Structure 1
């Protein structure tokens, strides 16, 4: 019995004529696709592709098989698409990427609010890193309808190109995550000018995105030191670096401890800095009424305690 994954691998390689591109399209390892094709060839009893170090092409047998199975594959895809549409007519799912630094209590409050006010809507939570949130406009292929994450103040007034930002869902005051042995660990709160006594982690290649979070100078014009690291922008790695390198610091939200286990690390509040904003963001080209309603309902959770 031939499996659907085998048919999909066959057609992908036939269309791409490249095992690596076919694997990327199917979100599989190249070795997995190659193994699948070899298995099909053994079952058919002949080679379906001619492979050299420079090219891949269909054999006559491969062309015949692809031509025979393609209509059935298309019919199967249409059947599943129609089934999804029928299911969506009864229950509308919204795939929302929530940054892992958003407290679980806030995520649950958003889910309950939206599903209560929009009967028939189900929120599917997808955990994403803060890098995914900041680069979402380049990562629409993730299949998410929108993301919810922390943004610098004023994001709605100047969203990333091609993006839409919803009302504020929550505000959280800034805090510096530092090692308990750091001289400033007992200072609470820190004055914004004291940030010059710290070295902040900066992600190589993301300087333009990180600048709104940690400006290069204080309001008095004093430089704020950075140390560049080649890593993904997510709170787990930042927590690890602060723990392993006592001189490094990370500017984050005071509520981080509700989302991540910080252990012995210390969160020191910062005076003189505007609070960070939790908002919904989505691509303008993919905007739908359901996404706009989600953003408005999520924003209504904190309405009255702040201005959006």
Structure 2
């Protein structure tokens, strides 16, 4: 980099944002004259003007515009590398917010307990993720990571360890013709309207959990779905642990053979990967008991 100083690059980026030497100096906690010195040093290294300054305005030259466009993402990534190194050096501490979809049962708590034992300086918080919005809480920064039902095909999210592979059951009303059956075959689902989550859950995700061409209501929450099942408005696919957890007198859960197992995965945002998130992913992967049910 020809001996370029990080401070010079930082100064240029702040000045490019502010287009005012005084305001740039205030943000950098240096004098206006120091901003001019840092800019001059950078321009000397590059061999061309990056900023034009008159008595009335400050603006970037064409080269300055191009330099800013190329420098900004590289500088952000460099800052992120430094932050990650500092975080790793301090160890895992602070706060980790974990979202879950469906039920935070004993298996999810097993993974969290493992994480807490390994990293006692890190406080964990647990929050339910809406059934019809499995990825929203991660995207909006409400949680650092979430345990959600697969499939996950979101380019801005990282899919971490998979766990809690469970057989599917179909929830039907006690008055449904299938309520007395011990088991069902996958082909028999074709004649049943299957209740699914509504938007904002992606279409591919909704279809994976309600593989039926027959029209059925869309719901926002799991409890809404089970209430509609009890009212004979449709059936609903759920994994076996969720069926056991949400047992009710007016709904019967019948195992289904021949459909893909229900699988959970840990997800986090690509821009939000921290040492805390990576440490929790390791705890989930290392758990001897599957860590959740949804």
Report if TM-score (shorter chain) is over 0.5: yes
Q: Is residue 195 from structure 1 mapped to residue 197 from structure 2 by the alignment?
A: no
* Matched residue, 1:271: 257
**Cα offset, 1:132, TM superposition:** 3.1
Give the aligned partner of residue 121 of structure 1: 122
Which of 157, 164, 174 is matched with 1:163 structurally?
A: 157
Change (3 A) 1:127 1:179: same
Answering whether residue 280 of structure 2 is matched by residue 294 of structure 1, we say yes
Corresponding residue for residue 225 of structure 1: 214
User: Which of the two has higher C-alpha Rg?
Assistant: 2
| TM-score, L = length of structure 2 | 0.61
1:238 and 2:225 matched: yes
Q: For the residues of structure 1 that align with 2:239 and 2:91, how far apart are their CA atoms?
A: 39
**C-alpha deviation, 1:103, in angstroms:** 4.5
**Counterparts of 2:92 and 2:275, CA distance in 1:** 17
CA contact (8 A) 2:196 2:206 kept: yes
Q: Aligned-pair distance for 1:201?
A: 1.5
Unaligned runs of 5+ in 2: 1-86
TM-score (norm 1): 0.58
| Equivalent runs, 1:102-117 vs 2, <5 Å | 102-117=103-118
Cα separation, 2, equivalents of 1:301 and 1:146? 17
Cα offsets for 1:264-304 (capped at 9, x unmatched): 31111110112111221111111112202211211222479
How many residues align structurally? 200
Please list, as runs of the form range in 1=range in 2, the aligned pairs for 1:33-72 lying within 5 A after superposition: none
Does the 8 Å contact 1:178/1:185 carry over to 2? Answer: yes
Distance 1:288 1:239 in 2: 37
Distance in 1 separating the partners of 2:205 and 2:121: 37
Aligned to 1:144: 143
Q: Which residue of 2 aligns with 1:260?
A: 246
Indicate how the Cα distance of structure 1 residues 287 and 176 shifts in structure 2: closer, same or farther if over 3 A, else same: same
The unaligned stretches of length 5 or more in structure 1 are 1-84, 217-223
The answer for the alignment partner of 1:220 in structure 2 is: none
